[in-house]
Structure 1
Amino acid sequence: MKFAYQFSNLLGSVYRKGNITFTPDGNSVISPVGNRISIFDLKNNKSQTLPVETRVNVTSIAVSPDGRIAILVTEEGEGLLVSLVSQSVLGHYHFHKEVRQVQFSPDGSKFAVVKDTVVQVFYAPGKTREFNPFVLYRTYPGHVDEAVCLDWTSDSRVLCTGSKDRRTRIVATQRLKNLNVYDLGGVRDTVIGAFFALNSMDIYCVARDAYVFVWKCDTKLSDLEPWVEEISKNKEDEDEDDDDADEDTGSKKKSKKKRKIPEAEPEQGKGIIYSGGGKFSFREARKDTGFCEVTTAAFHKASHLLVTGFEDGTFFLHEMPDFNMIHSLSISEQSVNSMAINNSGEWIALACGKLGQLLVWEWQSESYVLKQQGHFNDMTCITYSPDGQNIVTGGGDGKVKVWNSFSGFCFVTFTEHVGEVTGVKVTQNGKSVLSSSMDGTVRAFDLTRYRNYKTLTSPKPDQFSCLAVDGAGEIVCAGGTTEFMIYVWTMKTGRLLQTLAGHEGPISALDFSQSDGVLASGSWDKTVKLWGIYEQAGMRETIDLNSDVLALTFRPDGKEFAVATLNAHVTFWDTVSAQQKGTIEGRHDLGYSRKDADKVSAKTSAEGKAFETLCYSADGHCILAAGRSKNVCIYSVSDQLLMKKFVISCNHSLDGIEEFLDRRKMTEWGSLALVDTGQGDEKGSAISLPGVKKGDHSSRHWKPEVRVYSLQFSPTGRSWVACSTEGLMVYSLDQGVVFDPFELDMDITPASVRRTLGKGEHSAALMLSFRLNEQSLIQEVLEAIPVDSADVIIESLPDTYVDKLLAFMGHMIESSAHIEFYLLWLLPLLTAHGPKLKQRSQSVMSSLRTLQRNLTRKYEDLRKIADHNKYLSQYLQSLSQLKRKKPSGAVAKEVGQDSDEDDDSEDENLKELAWREGSSDSDSSMDIL
């Protein structure tokens, strides 16, 4: 078992706070998710979270015009320079203030930062060779209140800023003859957005009170002339004595005194003048919905498209400068926090922080390109589908979501539950999802038709805290928290078969053994009971423990199960004999941490922590454990030793991250964290004295607590996921950083393997490459062996090398273009060694799951291409049949002669277009194949 797991993706959370932006090519959206950033590729339908983590939440993002670097700014004003190519941090800079917006100039030479009442302009990193990537160019003060927004002109010489002081300020970043600083007023509320028109000095100002102001400039952008330095040099009178010795006369010559008279400074050009070009209001368009404040705005210069978002979830599209309304839509009942328009002006990205929602809307076709939303509350449970293709999550908001593990997108959401979802399971055939909830129901959802086709309830109203499904998917069990019963249903009829009584406390954990169908239940009454569901005897064994049971899970082979208790112990038990096999003391492995409002030390608070979720690895050699902590521990089951500890987050915006008390928050009256300041209000409020509070007395300022709700290993064993406060964290196994040879000798080298292959000893070369265990070398040897000899080689392979060959082929089918080649190897492998593989199915189950997942994914990709080509060929056939039908009659011939020529040319264009689409599809199919 390797432990080189690294963070690979973040699912279940698409937006938290801050501004979203498009990449320069317009195909991807970059969204801040907590202290990380996620990139949603809309063209390839895939999401990716960069392995870059900041100290607190990210609030501002700016991408360079070339799309190579990005600047991230956090809540505390810390700036990070991130390479989008290498996905690494290149530099740090602290702005020491909260930054409202960061924006690169269109030419990419500078970037501007709005903070407090000033605007700072920096040289863009990478344009020159410097030690510090953040080099300040100039600071522009002038606002008397906090600046909110900024925008650049098309030539990157002038920028404008909007502020809470109700002014728009135009500043020249280069010294110009006719412009230095210009102020625009007339606004009665905060300027939410100020935008320059394309290749013009005209400005559109959007105010918070739902007004839009248009300012016309009498000077074109091309008429802005740079300042020419014409300063005459005034020198003081200087005596210049030139002693020139004359060889003949020996006389000395004295130079005369000269004085330069300063010339008059030339008169500079006159300044620019702005005049009102119009004042428009949204109040007329909002007669039905009522008045709401504007929260965000975006402007596309090429198409003159102005998009404004409101606090009630509506957004308007207007064409400027005439303010013609194009669309008026609503995405939710919560305010729109951020929006962006891509470079072509076709897609509009909208983000809502309260709902964690991210939308990309194509306004011309009035359709969604992307519509993603995480759980409103935290995720509470998770499970993988048997093939590892999908991930199912349940949340505190009562929703069940199904995510694609490859793309990272949610493709279906079930909202039938009205209470918190406490458990989710997928049947063995992968066609149904079962979920238990605190609303007293267990629901079955169909993944083919996406509907709730069965609902299971108990005779008396009860709240279900856990769920278990047997290996065949026929028996469903749920544990209650009020009646202390275990309810058993059959999936075929939905009838309640029996109720298992015996526990004296709420049922906290249930799990089925996949080998013999034994059901294990854990409870707060400090017992674990083993039940024979398929037998009439009922309860088999009762195991007494020293503390309350919090989690329970079986090993994949069903011969062992692990129990996590309230005293932070993990105990291992034999299923048949019910004897204890080992114990892990994990209290200190959870780590020491404290909340801001804790009055005890981190070491003292750690005494109340325990593991709340357990999961065995695919091979059963290791176990994952986590709880109310930022750490995830992986233990060796045989040695009961901690092998590695993973820190899921270092985001100090979460509670429970810090190990020691922050001295910066300490005052002579105590910690500021203990003072309820009412900072939960989005509009903000000043920190008041202890005991003084105004406004909404029900508002509270709180930070979410970092914790892990559930863990799950993928069936392939290549990755594991954790349901945390940050979202669904995916950790994958990195093959490139581990060198793991198998029975390696001194004489086994890549050169010796290639020599053996050159001699024609294919079987020996293949086994030597597996002993060296380098993927590139195994691929080179395998692809050099003729396919005709695959049957003979596979029959002579020992079982150890058969397992390694099966795992290698499952991995290669995912990434290689030679699918048919590997399938021709795979067929004799499964045919010849099928019975032996069935006997040791537990050891090769992860390889078989990987193979199944990758084959399913390739099948879906190829099926889409084949269907597209099929329909395209049918279209071409019908087009050719229509062309053969010509109009009859002389009049029709005379009248339709010219039109036939036009039709022929149009048909030729259609054929050419169809041929291009077919060639592009064939190219994409070649890329896949």
Structure 2
Amino acid sequence: MKFAYRFSNLYGAVYRQGNLSFSKDGNNVISPIGNRVSVFDLKNNSSETLPFSTVKNITCVGLSPDGGLAIVVDEDGAAQIISLITRAVLQHFHFHKPVSSIRFSPDGRKLVVTKENVALLYHAPGKHREYNALVLDKTYYGPYDETTCIDWTTDSKCFAVGSKDMSTWVFGAERWANLIYYSLGGHKDLVVGCFFEKESLDLYTVSQDGALCVWESDTEPSGLVLTKKVAEKEEEKESSLEEGEEAEEGGSRAQVIRGKADSPKDSEINNVRYLQKSKHFFNKEGEFNNLTCASFHKDTHILVTGFASGVFHLHELPEFNLIHSLSISDQRISSVVMNCSGDWIGFGCSGMGQLLVWEWQSESYVFKQQGHFNNMASLAYSPDGQYIVTGGDDGKVKVWNTNSGLCFVTFTEHTSSITHVTFTSSGFVIVSASLDGTVRAYDLHRYRNFRTFTSPRPVQFSSLAVDFSGELVSAGAQDSFEIFIWSMQTGRLLEVLAGHAGPVSSLCFSPVQSILASASWDKTVRIWDMIDSWQTKETLPLPADGLAVSYRPDGQELAVATLDGEISFWVPQDATQTGSIAGRHDLVMGRKESEKITAKQSAKGKSFTALCYSADGASILAGGQSRFVCIYNVKEQILMKKFEVSCNLSFDAMEEFLDRRKMTEFGSLALVDEGAGDGDGVQLSLPGVRKGDMSSRHFKPEIRVSSLRFSPTGRSWAATTTEGLLVYSLDGSMIFDPYDLDLDVTPASVRRQLRLKEWTSAIVLAFRLNEHALTQEVLETVPHKEIPVVCGSLPDVYVEKLLFFLAGCLEKSAHLQFYLSWAQNLLLLHGQKLKNRSGAILPTIQSLQKSLQRHFESLSKLCEWNIYTIRYAVALSKQRGLKRSAEQLEEGEEVEEEEEEEVVEDEDLFEGMSQASMENTVMVM
């Protein structure tokens, strides 16, 4: 279980491409991010990335009406049916072609999938007892070009499909006699959205050129008539039901009754017809602005449209009254969706990687997040493990909360790519280095850039390190080969260290003393003494260019990654090498599409670029130009485990062999130049071209790991990759992991011990079963006065388990004093035994400290505010008592003794409240 890390969450990105969806209750936004799906809880302000991934980037997500099922489809048409309740993949399915949209019917019994110019009607999974989850019911042909959008009527009888051929097709979900299909024109550009009116066949269609057509039907939904053959079959089914045969599902029987009631026998059937009632235009100023997405809320009759300029409009239909028009950015709005109540609107901008939720009635943001829209270069954990800071190639420094998974502050002072970020030992200062020639320090109390460190002449900083005291800031330059040292207090440049003959690639301070290690491309690692006149203490020769250097947490060992793919270990005191790991064979690298050499030959030039020791120093984490992250045992110098950070084939260098289907007579298709040739660079697609502009250039980003860090608690580690900031944790898995389990250990036996008031025995049984909910139930059943007795009689092996459990409960539970009493008694009664095993329980203690620190920050402000409130109440009481006494003296009446006692009692009461509040504040601190 020591290395049983599993994928926990994905930070650094909130939206990439595809359609957004709201959950059934409207409190969650479901957003595709690359080949994963994230769920953002707007009510609790948290995010969760589902523990599954597709083969390529996700293009569309279909959500069932009950909110329990989702179908995600990637670029190639490979689909996965996901349970949003258990977060598990139920089945895989392949549509064999790229899918443009997918939509469930409102009753949840069917779904429509559009690919190319075909609409496919499937039975929804879970509604019938069938071997295959998706059973094809009907195939609809009609559009001449690719389909773009789908919408259902509220009674699930019909659906509409929009197409790039500027037409909209209305199809019947059943075999209606008076509606087989109906084609609607009226547009001069591709149809972006089509929407049915509530409980009606009236239709709204929106095109890319900003035109809205309102279509009115001459038939109500109740006027749709089944064909004779279908009606006869339905009558036979109904007669069999009347004879006593039970149907598998009541929904089909309701549909049968409705079909029979709507089927006249001898009357003439009139076909459904549409009439264009009106036509409206969004671009009234004359400037051309493409309409990119649209959404319609049928209950409130509100149409939301997003444009390529970042502007969105809200209109009330069918009158086309403009409610308001706003701009959220200058980038294209890729997706828009409204929640079930119609109060919140979700926007996705793929160009900026931005996700917004807007409440249009109050005109305020409910949710606003933006990830790094370029690669992330570096990350760092705060000392308490509560925050993660990341720096990206977009020049932004973002701070993420590990509990919620959301970014709460972004610093944009840098004007070029960030190369390294780090926290100081206090945890309240972030330092970042950039290629713009500055090193900046940020304050997490006031959220501002309070220091800017520069060099005498402009250089590009490629590495950064801060000593354990937080006073010295060092940065290495990649063009002048020098190391600059500044004072954090004064901001002055203290020293410039020269000696390297190549770019300084990595810096690292010793965790226990002011000694700096610097790795360079000149094949050396230099040890600098910050106390003894900034002199070089040792020079370590390397077999190749140094890329990364890292100190062990006790400062007694140094690990260096070099260009030849090796990791060497050194004792910095006497400059002796203790061992090395040849990691080139573990860097399994795929073959790029544009490379002419094989993956095996390409792997010879790969190396590790990021190193990080574990909390106990027994193992080291290494990553680089590969999709794998390796954990090595330092003492044995062997590979313990490999983690695949991504299986997304949309990235380059993922496959070991080239696909033979992409080979032509001229070689690989990726090597064939498909440039514009002698054209004039016109961006418009040619007539007859179905896949857009054939001269457009596309590139696939290469998968790699740029930075690695272990959490201070040791329970998780994070890596900045091409996909984003990936967090792997020991706590995120849903694995049943019992301890010392036998047949007598059951939930019933645990509750039996609780009824007998055998508290210690119940706790031991609960930990042996290892179910979180049951353990929490047992702890919260123990009376408060019995906590010291139970803690004293607890076996030693369960003390550590209980401490770790308390650290997790303190993060989420509201019973703060109750769990603090448990932790206090455990540490007081078993402190000496725990001290002897300090190395093993260090992650548990750090996790407990992290929880206490978070509560301290939130409660200290509240307690301080209460102290001032109580002081104000005491002063106000005194003022009122003095005023009342003065009035009575002026009237000539004596102040009664009882009233004086009341005033004294009031003052004593308020003074007691103030003293109690102060004591609670001190206790929490």
Residue equivalent to 2:304: 307
5 Å-filtered alignment, 1:168-187, equals 168-187=168-187
Are 2:213 and 1:216 aligned? no
1:28–1:40: 8 Å Cα contact kept in structure 2?
Answer: yes
What secondary structure is seen at the aligned counterpart in 2 of 1:189?
coil
1:659 aligns with 2:656: yes
Q: Name which of 448, 451, 463 aligns with 2:448.
A: 451
Aligned-partner Cα distance in 2 for 1:574–1:336 = 55
CA distance in structure 1 between the partners assigned to 2:271 and 2:396 by the alignment:
60
Q: Report if the CA contact (8 A) 2:745-2:768 is conserved.
A: no
Where do residues 512-527 of structure 1 align in structure 2 (5 Å cutoff)? 512-527=509-524
Give the counterpart letter for 2:643 in structure 1: F
Query: Is residue 195 of structure 1 aligned with residue 192 of structure 2?
Result: no
Distance 1:33 1:441 in 2: 32
Determine if contact 1:748/1:768 at 8 Å carries over to the other structure.
no
Map of 1:246 onto structure 2: none
CA distance in 2, matches of 1:688, 1:140: 23
Q: Which of 341, 344, 350 lines up with 2:341 in the alignment? A: 344
Distance in 1 of aligned mates of 2:682 and 2:26: 31
Which is further off, 420-429 or 57-66?
Answer: 420-429
- Secondary structure at the residue paired with 1:25? coil
The aligned counterpart of 1:126 is 126
Counterparts in 2 of 1:52 and 1:524: CA distance versus 1, 3 Å: same
* Greater shift in the superposed pair: 710-719 or 764-773: 764-773
**Structure 1 contact 512–518 (Cα < 8 Å) conserved:** yes
- 1:891 corresponds in structure 2 to none
Q: In structure 1, the residue corresponding to 2:661 is in which secondary structure?
A: helix
Whether the 8 Å CA contact 2:216–2:277 is kept in 1: the answer is yes
Aligned to 2:4: 4
Deviations for 1:738-765, whole angstroms, at most 9, x for unmatched residues? Answer: 8596xx8999989999999999999999
Alignment partner, residue 597 of structure 2: 600
Aligned residue identity for 2:718: V
**In 2, Cα distance between equivalents of 1:780 and 1:80:** 37
1:237-280 alpha-carbon deviations (Å, 9 max, x no partner) = xxxxxxxxxxxxxxxxxxxxxxxxxxx99564111222221111
Deviation at 1:307, TM superposition (A): 1.0
Question: Are positions 1:493 and 2:487 aligned together?
Answer: no
* From 545, 550, 553, the counterpart of 1:548: 545
- Provide, for residues 681-736 of structure 1, a one-character-per-residue CA deviation record: whole Å limited to 9, x for no partner: 999979999xxx99797x53210101111111111111111101111111110476
Structure 2 distance, partners of 1:842, 1:330, is: 55
Q: CA deviation at 1:869?
A: 11
Output the CA distance in 2 between the equivalents of 1:605 and 1:59: 31
* Number of the residue aligned with 2:912: none
Given the superposition, is the C-alpha separation of residues 808 and 173 from structure 1 closer, same or farther in structure 2, using an over 3 Å criterion?
closer
The Cα of 1:821 is off from its aligned counterpart by 2.8
Q: Secondary structure at the residue paired with 2:817? A: helix
Q: Give the distance between the partners of 1:351 and 1:607, measured in 2 at CA.
A: 41
The answer to whether the 8 A contact 2:24-2:65 is kept is yes
- Tell me what 1:417 maps to: 414
For the structure 1 residues 170 and 695, does the alpha-carbon distance in structure 2 shift closer, same or farther, using more than 3 Å as the test?
closer
Change (3 A) 1:696 1:218: closer
Structure 2 residue 582 is matched with structure 1 residue 585 = yes
TM-aligned CA deviation for residue 515 of structure 1: 1.1
State the 1:819 CA deviation. 3.3
* Counterpart-to-counterpart distance in 2, 1:508 and 1:520: 11
Contact 1:623 1:636 in 2 (8 A): yes
Kindly provide the amino acid, as one letter, of the partner of residue 204 in structure 1: Y
Kindly state the Cα deviation for residue 223 of structure 1 after the two structures are TM-superposed: 2.6
- What is the aligned partner in structure 2 of residue 910 from structure 1? none
Q: Which residue matches 1:390?
A: 387
| Aligned counterpart, 1:206 | 206
Partner of 1:144: 144
Q: Does 1:627 align with 2:624?
A: yes
Corresponding position of 2:817: 820
Q: After superposition, where does 1:673-684 map in structure 2 within 5 Å?
A: 673-677=670-674
Provide the TM-score with structure 1 as the length reference. 0.83
8 Å Cα contact 2:145-2:165 kept in structure 1: yes
What's the counterpart of residue 435 of structure 1? 432
Q: Secondary structure at the match of 1:351?
A: strand
755-764 or 269-278: bigger deviation: 755-764
User: 1:717 maps to which residue?
Assistant: 714
CA distance, structure 2, for counterparts of residue 32 and residue 862 of structure 1: 36
Q: Kindly provide the amino acid, as one letter, of the partner of residue 341 in structure 1.
A: M
2:620 aligned partner, one-letter code: I
Answer yes or no: is the 8 Å Cα contact 1:465–1:507 preserved in 2. yes
Match of 2:352 in 1: 355
Mark the CA change 1:657 to 1:730 in structure 2 (over 3 Å): closer, same or farther. Answer: same
Q: Structure 1 counterpart of 2:93, which letter? A: Y
Deviates more, 1:390-399 or 1:178-187: 178-187
Q: Residue 649 in 1 paired to residue 646 in 2? A: yes
- Look up the match of 2:56: 56
Shift of 1:737: 4.0
- Residues 455-497 of structure 1 deviation map (CA, whole Å, 9 limit, x = unaligned): 0111121111111111121111111111111111111111111
In the alignment, which residue of structure 1 is the partner of 2:41? 41
Rg comparison, structure with higher value:
1
Aligned length: 835
Shifted more, 165-174 versus 605-614: the winner is 165-174
Residues in 2 aligned to 1:797 and 1:845: alpha-carbon distance in whole angstroms? 20
Partners of 2:455 and 2:281 lie apart in 1 by: 57
Alpha-carbon distance between aligned partners in 1 of 2:612 and 2:682, rounded to the nearest angstrom: 39
Paired residues of 1:556 and 1:842 also in contact (CA < 8 A):
no
| Residue 120 of structure 1: how far off its partner (Å) | 0.8
Distance across 1 between alignment mates of 2:83 and 2:609: 38
- 1:637 maps to 634
Instruction: Give the match for residue 671 of structure 1.
Output: 668
Contact 1:750 1:777 in 2 (8 A): no
Secondary structure at the aligned position of 2:126 is classed as: coil
1:460 to 436, 447, 457: 457
Q: Give CA-to-partner distance per residue, 1:518-566, whole Å, 9 cap, x none.
A: 2111101111111111222622111001011111111112211211111
Give TM-score scaled by structure 2 length. Answer: 0.83
Runs of 5+ unmatched residues, structure 1:
234-263, 875-929
Give secondary structure in 2 for the equivalent of 1:852: helix
CA distance in 1 between partners of 2:195 and 2:699 (Å): 36
Q: Deviations over 1:353-406 (max 9, x none)?
A: 111111111111111111111112100000011111111000001100011111
CA shift, 1:835, in A, is: 8.4
In structure 1, what residue type is equivalent to 2:391? Answer: G
Q: Is the 8 A contact 2:167 2:187 kept in 1?
A: yes
Aligned partners of 2:333 and 2:349 also within 8 Å: yes
Verify the 8 A CA contact 2:468 2:513 in the aligned structure 1: no
Please report how far the alpha carbon of residue 86 of structure 1 lies from its aligned counterpart in structure 2 after TM superposition.
1.4
Task: Judge conservation of contact 2:652–2:702 (CA < 8 Å) in 1.
Answer: yes
Tell me which residue corresponds to 1:478.
475
Q: Counterpart in 1 of 2:72? A: 72
Choose from 836, 844, 847 the match for 1:847: 844
AA of the residue aligned to 1:105: S
Q: Residues 30 and 736 of structure 1: is their aligned pair in 2 closer, same or farther, counting only changes over 3 Å?
A: closer
Q: What CA distance in whole angstroms lies between the structure 2 residues aligned with 1:792 and 1:483? A: 66
Secondary structure at 2:602 match in 1: helix
Task: Report the Cα offset of residue 49 of structure 1.
Answer: 0.9
Describe how 1:185-334 pairs up with structure 2 within 5 A. 185-229=185-229, 266=266, 268-284=268-284, 286=285, 290-334=287-331
Code of the residue aligned with 2:56 in structure 1: it is V
User: Is the deviation greater in 746-755 or in 176-185?
Assistant: 746-755
Partner of 2:60, secondary structure, is: strand
Deviation at residue 56 of structure 1 after TM alignment: 0.7
Give 2:570's aligned residue.
Answer: 573
Match for residue 153 of structure 1?
153
The CA distance in 1 between the partners of 2:347 and 2:555, in whole Å, is 48
CA RMSD of aligned residues (A): 3.7
What's the CA shift string for 1:434-458, capped at 9, x where partnerless? 1011111110111111111110111
Contact map agreement 1:517 1:532 (CA 8 A) in 2 = yes
Over 3 Å counting, the alpha-carbon distance change for 1:157 and 1:746 in structure 2 is closer
In the alignment, is the contact (CA less than 8 A) between 2:118 and 2:141 conserved in 1?
A: yes
The 1:84–1:279 alpha-carbon spacing in structure 2 relative to 1, beyond 3 Å, is same
Whether the aligned pair in 2 keeps the contact of 1:444 and 1:454 (CA below 8 Å) is: yes
